[in-house]
Structure 1
């Protein structure tokens, strides 16, 4: 396990966070995420997070994770936003099966998908090579931010980086036959997992359902191409990174429509010479206003992505 340098002792850091962070002790005094394993197919379980922003009220439980129970062992798909989440996920798995965890997959580099790794055997931690490199380099900043956003829920959370590099293609683990699909767009490296026996597609954050997509490291054109490829896959149900499980491709199409609109809005604004303040003032269309956090995510996307749209528009005018 790779330990990060701490600016203060763990205890002092926790005390500072409790003093400086608004905190709802009534809802979080026991730091219990109240995780519930929902069976969605034979041997396939999901833990569904809230469609909210990170906060000390939810402890970062805004992400979907899951696990597959095979004849010889368990495959975990994403481990959540904190050590506590990972430990409670491990306990939730133990309530379903006594079999060991044999593979723990991190779908991509965002911290709500890998900061529970400490709870799982280090030799089982796995991700695409690009994801492993990104986690090793960027995790310190991610962890600092998660402590600020989620407060004392993050206590004792440190980096446990994946050790095993995965490759796209078929993989047998614990008695489950998986298809690993390497894509990108949400980040530079996004792994989708298809359970071949049940047709369950774990799409991670390439797909959102009922929630506006997050874009801190997005390449919208690559993301849209990945969604086109995903919709061509044969599957029976899709587990998005955020939002409810769906029995069809509707969340893929919803995510695509939003990203098309976002890409077009940024491009047209830049071509018209609008400044960032004017772009931030643009309303979210009624088509997307029903998505959780649509206004917040639109503003975040403008802040992150609009400078590049302006640069492209300027280059085209030269």
Structure 2
């Protein structure tokens, strides 16, 4: 198999380059790929200086996906912070194949991840990708979406996602460039959704209905879940973590309330945003609920004792440290958000 590739380079940092996929030109021979390129040149190109191409080359590497239910495939990201070794591959990603089309749930930290998702889908089906669903605003879930924007796929997100990405994407990109290296971000850009989920909506992939629901502020202010009615599999995004310490970037009380309501959905298993990749439901929420309750109780106790935030942070939820990975990376931030929220109740 062959695919269309464009070489893109940095204008700074020594002009590092990488090959960027132009999706939609896959063919069994180089000649057929070149014919497709000549017949329909790409209307848009990824961000970055393009010194050569496009040209047809053998198909590159794809992400590993596991079929966790009929027609549902999940890639489990590493339980780690983004760095130069993992290249930002730190969140779970899924795709769902219907009779007529495919939907993707989350797209990873960079364009290269989106390209690797595209290849994994094409290895399994020729059906079009009709929808790319983003479960929330964090960059490890949304930055691969630009690969699909020019393929006819509709980008789907929470009503607050457009503003959230507009406000944060430059900071996210700067942070990721430091963590994974600027060359790994080549071609990466945030894509605003063109389908907004105000409350709930359905997507029909052909003999397969997906129930999408947006939630009040919880893990973030942009949380969205995806329920596959055919298998009762629920994609929770980062409303559920497993092994990876939950990260609070919204409202502690709001997240607890959302989890209570989430338990009422007709799901039997879930794909969390990190860990798993599949957990039983509703049992799969127990660890997150326990952590959030301890975070609340310890924060209230510190406030009632008249302690200052800086003195209390190291003690809040400290008993949970042995139960989670990345505790030191995320718990101080969680304690700060919780303290700020609860001291003004």
Q: Which bin holds the TM-score, normalised by the shorter protein?
A: 0.7 to 0.9
Asked whether the equivalents of residues 270 and 310 of structure 1 are also in contact (C-alpha less than 8 Å), the reply is: yes
Structure 1 residues 103 and 78 mapped into 2: Cα distance closer, same or farther (>3 Å)?
Answer: same
Asked whether the equivalents of residues 298 and 317 of structure 2 are also in contact (C-alpha less than 8 Å), the reply is: no
2:83 is equivalent to residue 52 of structure 1: no
Unaligned runs of 5+ in 1: 1-8, 17-31, 313-318
Asked whether the equivalents of residues 200 and 238 of structure 1 are also in contact (C-alpha less than 8 Å), the reply is: yes
Asked whether the equivalents of residues 125 and 162 of structure 1 are also in contact (C-alpha less than 8 Å), the reply is: yes
Aligned to 2:282: 249
2:222 is equivalent to residue 194 of structure 1: no
Asked whether the equivalents of residues 211 and 242 of structure 1 are also in contact (C-alpha less than 8 Å), the reply is: yes
Q: 1:161 aligns with which of 192, 195, 203?
A: 192
TM (norm. structure 1) is: 0.84
> Which of 55-64 and 82-91 deviates more?
55-64
2:302 is equivalent to residue 269 of structure 1: yes
TM (norm. structure 2) is: 0.78
2:288 is equivalent to residue 258 of structure 1: no
> Which of 113-122 and 203-212 deviates more?
113-122
Q: CA deviation at 1:114?
A: 0.7
CA distance in structure 1 between the partners assigned to 2:161 and 2:190 by the alignment: 14
Aligned to 1:93: 121
SS in 1 for 2:176: helix
Aligned to 1:11: 11
2:210 is equivalent to residue 182 of structure 1: no
2:149 is equivalent to residue 121 of structure 1: yes
Q: CA deviation at 1:294?
A: 2.0
Structure 1 residues 230 and 14 mapped into 2: Cα distance closer, same or farther (>3 Å)?
Answer: farther
Q: Deviations over 1:182-229 (max 9, x none)?
A: 2130111210100000000000000011221012x2201110011011
Q: CA deviation at 1:264?
A: 1.7
Aligned to 2:69: 41
Q: Deviations over 1:40-96 (max 9, x none)?
A: 111111111011112112111110110100011100111110000111111111111
Structure 1 residues 235 and 77 mapped into 2: Cα distance closer, same or farther (>3 Å)?
Answer: same
SS in 2 for 1:223: helix
If each structure's helix is expressed as a fraction of its own residues, which one has the higher value? 1
2:250 is equivalent to residue 222 of structure 1: no
SS in 1 for 2:160: helix
Q: 2:180 aligns with which of 138, 150, 158?
A: 150
Structure 1 residues 306 and 15 mapped into 2: Cα distance closer, same or farther (>3 Å)?
Answer: farther
CA distance in structure 2 between the partners assigned to 1:306 and 1:54 by the alignment: 27
Structure 1 residues 277 and 33 mapped into 2: Cα distance closer, same or farther (>3 Å)?
Answer: farther
If each structure's strand is expressed as a fraction of its own residues, which one has the higher value? 2
Asked whether the equivalents of residues 10 and 156 of structure 1 are also in contact (C-alpha less than 8 Å), the reply is: no
Aligned to 2:137: 109
Pair member with larger Rg = 2
Q: CA deviation at 1:257?
A: 0.8
The correspondence of residues 230-249 of structure 1 with structure 2, limited to 5 A, is 230-244=262-276, 245-249=278-282
